[in-house]
């Protein structure tokens, strides 16, 4: 079956109280509309059409990388009018699926069920039972339980207002039927809008089949109108991701304190402690431990790695058995090789730390290549920047850098060299020897410590 998806996104979202258009507000780090477009594409349609209006240029610009046919609806005259704008772009032999740009968590299985259940010349919608139906379209069923109409909250009678089965807004019909029916819609209702939902009565009156597929979860079909609803869906989504990880053998200590704003792949027996934030593309091996408050962004971590609390890793790679943190920061283009150790208050940038090498305390290593079995003492700094250019520091295998050393790049410390503590190294240090720069220590015996007035 040929499918065209039409996503309605022209509304302005007044209740968000925001300068950002509603469909650009983010859920799991991605605009609401991007979620819907991705789900639409997962159905492998002929085309995905987005009907836009309010702040359309900004919406188009933000989502410019997505494959979409953008259709402007100049005036928002209702959902029926919005779909009508898309019809000229759709082949007559296509099936049309209408989604909402502000219903971000709709799933592919539920949409496939809707498409499967709807007959060729009929209409299908997705409905759901809700505890509070305020503001939503009510599902009216006849005596035999068949769908007969959808009545908007503002047009409903007292009896109809008691109905808790509501219309999600998601609808499907053939392009051919929509060509017949949409121009017949009237706006003689309390909002003077052309309601897409009136198709139900139209189709039923012409003896076509109208069906409602009931969604089992409210959140999957729930629209976002305000920030409270947005955050409810965010938590639902995060809990769902955490549960999926748990099911695969990854331990998420507290699914309510887990946030993934991107894609996470994790191996079995890996443990993710509380308040971990995942951003972008993150891969974790098996048997890793990710401590509390760790942020991982576009980072790949191999098996048996420990990342201790409060560490931040960005665009980095950590190999097997390495231990990072607590309070470590790995900035972009860092690679820590097998069994490497990066300790507390250490910042690494654009550097390769070789196998079994250690940078354990309070150091900055940037634009550097560090060999294997190197020990970098506390408070070591690569002075990589002269105010204009960045220079490289090379530390070869087995070198030992004494604490408090400053390595003024470009500079090289050769194999097995030892650098005495407190040195400022400005030229290359030869292999296997002790190199140090240090002023002679002296003691001034007649010196008196200053005293405070009050102590006199
Ligand atoms: C609509 C449904 C209602 C359903 C509810 C679910 C109609 C008449 N009513 O009501 O039965 O329970 O959704 O959330 O369809 N839009 C446009 N152009 C327009 C009007 C709307 O693109 O001219 C878009 C909006 O941006 C939004 C969606 O269509 O994404 C729904 O519009 P909205 O005005 O929120 O409809 P509701 O009154 O909530
Ligand atoms: Ca709405």
Domains: count for the chain: 2
The answer to whether residue 448 is domain-embedded is no
Judge if 151 and 181 occupy the same domain: yes
Question: How many Å lie between the centroid of ligand 1 and the Cα of residue 165?
Answer: 17
Query: CB–CB of 275/290 below 8 Å?
Result: no
**What CATH number has the domain bearing residue 242?**
2.160.10.10
Q: Among 5, 6, 11, name the best residue to mutate to test ligand 1's pocket (greatest count of ligand atoms within 8 A of Cβ).
A: 11
* Closest Cα to atom 11 of ligand 1: 137
Looking at residue 54, its pLDDT comes to 79
Residues of the chain with pLDDT below 70 are 455-456
The pTM is what?
0.93
Judge if 213 and 241 occupy the same domain: no
Judge if 216 and 239 occupy the same domain: no
CA-CA-CA-CA torsion for 87, 90, 92, 95, nearest 10 degrees? -100
Residue that terminates a domain, selected from 200, 221, 242: 221
Helices 32-42 and 108-117, interaxial angle, to 10°?
A: 50
Q: Say whether 81 is catalytic.
A: no
pLDDT one-digit tens code per residue, 7-28: 999 987 899 999 999 999 999 9
The one catalytic residue among 54, 153, 179, 361: 361
Q: Which residue range forms the structural domain that includes residue 383?
A: 227-435
The answer to whether residue 445 is domain-embedded is no
pLDDT one-digit tens code per residue, 205-258: 999 999 999 999 999 999 999 999 999 999 999 999 999 999 999 999 999 999
DSSP 286: S
Judge if 60 and 185 occupy the same domain: yes
Question: Which ligand has an atom closest to residue 218 CA?
Answer: 1
- Ion ligand 2 neighbours (CB, 5 A) are 223
Judge if 182 and 249 occupy the same domain: no
Question: How many Å lie between the centroid of ligand 2 and the Cα of residue 22?
Answer: 11
* Closest Cα to atom 39 of ligand 1: 136
Name every protein residue with a CB atom under 6 angstroms from any ligand 1 atom.
Answer: 8-11, 51, 73, 76-79, 81-82, 100-102, 136-137, 150, 152, 166-169, 195-197, 223
* Closest Cα to atom 13 of ligand 1: 169
Residue that terminates a domain, selected from 221, 245, 260: 221
Question: Which ligand has an atom closest to residue 100 CA?
Answer: 1
Question: What whole-number distance in Å separates Cα of residue 99 and Cα of residue 119?
Answer: 18
Looking at residue 400, its pLDDT comes to 98
The answer to whether residue 456 is domain-embedded is no
Tokens representing 406?
């400053």
The answer to whether residue 246 is domain-embedded is yes
């Amino acid at each position: 079956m040929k499918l065209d998806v039409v996503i309605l996104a022209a509304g302005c979202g007044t209740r968000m109280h925001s300068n950002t258009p509603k469909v650009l507000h983010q859920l799991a780090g991605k605009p609401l509309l991007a979620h819907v477009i991705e789900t639409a594409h997962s159905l492998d349609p002929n085309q995905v059409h987005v009907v836009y209006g309010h702040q359309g240029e900004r919406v188009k610009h933000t989502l410019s990388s997505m494959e979409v046919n953008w259709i402007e609806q100049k005036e928002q005259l209702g959902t029926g009018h919005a779909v009508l704008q898309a019809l000229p772009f759709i082949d007559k032999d296509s099936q049309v699926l209408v989604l909402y740009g502000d219903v971000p968590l709709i799933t592919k299985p539920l949409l496939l069920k809707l498409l499967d259940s709807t007959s060729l010349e009929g209409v299908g919608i997705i409905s759901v039972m809700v505890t509070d139906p305020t503001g939503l379209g009510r599902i009216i069923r006849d005596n035999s339980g068949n769908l007969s109409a959808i009545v908007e909250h503002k047009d409903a009678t007292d009896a109809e207002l008691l109905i808790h089965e509501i219309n999600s807004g998601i609808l499907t019909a053939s392009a051919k039927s929509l060509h017949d029916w949409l121009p017949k819609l009237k706006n003689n209702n309390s909002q003077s809008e052309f309601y897409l939902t009136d198709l139900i009565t139209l189709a039923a009156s012409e003896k076509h089949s109208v069906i409602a597929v009931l969604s089992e979860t409210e959140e999957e079909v729930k629209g976002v109108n305000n920030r409270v609803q947005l955050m409810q869906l965010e938590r639902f989504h995060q809990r769902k991701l955490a549960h999926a990880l748990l099911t695969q053998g990854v331990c998420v200590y507290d699914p309510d304190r887990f946030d993934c704003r991107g894609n996470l792949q994790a191996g079995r027996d890996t443990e993710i402690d509380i308040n971990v934030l995942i951003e972008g593309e993150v891969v974790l091996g098996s048997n890793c431990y990710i401590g509390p408050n760790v942020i991982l962004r576009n980072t790949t971590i191999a098996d048996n790695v420990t990342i201790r609390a409060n560490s931040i890793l960005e665009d980095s790679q950590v190999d097997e058995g390495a231990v990072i943190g607590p309070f470590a920061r790995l900035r972009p283009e860092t690679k820590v090789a097998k069994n490497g150790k990066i300790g507390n208050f250490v910042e690494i940038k654009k550097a390769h730390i070789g196998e079994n090498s250690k940078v354990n305390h309070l150091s900055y290593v940037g634009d550097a290549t560090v060999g294997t079995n190197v020990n970098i003492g506390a408070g070591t700094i690569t002075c990589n920047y002269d105010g204009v250019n960045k220079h490289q520091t090379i530390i070869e295998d087995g070198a030992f850098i004494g604490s408090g050393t400053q390595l003024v790049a470009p500079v090289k410390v050769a194999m097995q060299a030892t650098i005495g503590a407190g040195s400022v190294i400005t030229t290359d240090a030869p292999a296997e020897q002790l190199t140090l720069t240090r002023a002679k220590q002296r003691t001034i015996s007649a010196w008196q410590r200053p005293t405070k007035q009050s102590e006199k």
